[in-house]
């Protein structure tokens, strides 16, 4: 967990679900990004289409407590399984040739 101090009128942008607590002077606003801006492929493969803007509207310092929105683990991929090509590139090549 990280506590971020915000000066008056200062704002931060976070992922949804990452905010644990905030001071009373902090305002939270959800911002939606249209699919046209994100791109269909990025949207389909998990790019976030929303974000949270946290703004300190008070005259004094405020604070926000945030955490990572989910646990994660990195799994290494053996590129020899894909003839040395990247997995994403291999996927797009299959799409172009019509294979599934």
What are the residue boundaries of the structural domains of the chain, listed by start?
A: 2-70
Residue bearing the bigger pLDDT, 28 or 46: 28
Residue 17: count other Cβ atoms within 10 Å of its Cβ.
13
- 0.75 cut: is pTM over it? no
CB 46 within 8 A of CB 88: no
Q: What is the pLDDT of residues 66-83, one digit of tens each?
A: 876 666 555 666 666 666
Q: Which of 28-32, 40-44, 94-98 has the lowest mean pLDDT?
A: 94-98
Give CB contacts under 8 A, 24+ apart, made by 28-34.
28/52, 28/53, 28/54, 29/53, 29/55
């Amino acid at each position: 967990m990280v506590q971020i101090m915000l000066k008056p009128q200062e704002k931060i942008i976070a992922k949804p679900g990452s905010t644990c607590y905030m001071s009373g002077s902090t305002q939270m606003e959800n911002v939606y990004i249209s699919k046209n801006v994100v791109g269909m492929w990025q949207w389909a493969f998990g790019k976030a289409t929303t974000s949270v803007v946290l703004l300190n509207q008070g005259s004094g310092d405020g604070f926000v407590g945030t955490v990572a929105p989910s646990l994660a683990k990195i799994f290494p991929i053996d590129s020899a399984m894909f003839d040395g090509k990247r997995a994403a590139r291999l996927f797009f090549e299959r799409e172009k040739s019509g294979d599934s």
